[in-house]
Amino acid sequence: MGYVKLNIDAGVKEGWGMGVGVICRGSNGEVVWGLAEHRRAEMEPRLAEAMAILEGVKEARSRGHTRIIIESDCKMVIDALKTKEQGHSDFHLILDDIFYFCSDFNSVIWSFVSRKLNGVAHELAHFSSSEISRYVWDSLLPEQVMSLVIRDINDMR
């Protein structure tokens, strides 16, 4: 209780760029908000996954959430966040930004989940067109994404 859960994913495709998908749910599984973003930036998947988590954390912070659960299907990034991995690479600079933004939360839980349990975020990461774009929705998601949320909720039962 008192937490919101962010399912977060990144999509990377050569010549397309990267996509970010975030779905935020309340304690009963209801959609609180969603985010889909496309960038022309070409980056390796590990960097894209970390960047997606950074975007999700920044949006959660801007909305005043104080207790969050972050779920991602990228074990490498979740493990790095759990252990507060240090370093000097581009990857570690993104982790440092994540840690900075997370310092405003009362509680952050990092959780690795399977791709199946991260399906809505995965679809949102691939939602945007080939143009640079950012879409943020409050509870009412586009029809094709909402159908995934409903399927997801039914799978949990």
pLDDT at 45 over 60: yes
Q: Which domain holds residue 25?
A: 4-156
Region 21-31: mean pLDDT is 91
Looking at residue 68, which CATH number applies to its domain? 3.30.420.10
- pTM, entire model: 0.91
Of 1-10, 81-90, 124-133, which gets the smallest average pLDDT?
Answer: 124-133
Q: What pLDDT is attached to residue 150?
A: 76
Q: What pLDDT is attached to residue 157?
A: 56
Q: What pLDDT is attached to residue 64?
A: 96
Task: Give how many domains the chain has, as a whole number.
Answer: 1
pLDDT at 128 over 70: no
> How far is 37 from 134, CA to CA, in rounded Å?
4
> How far is 134 from 148, CA to CA, in rounded Å?
20
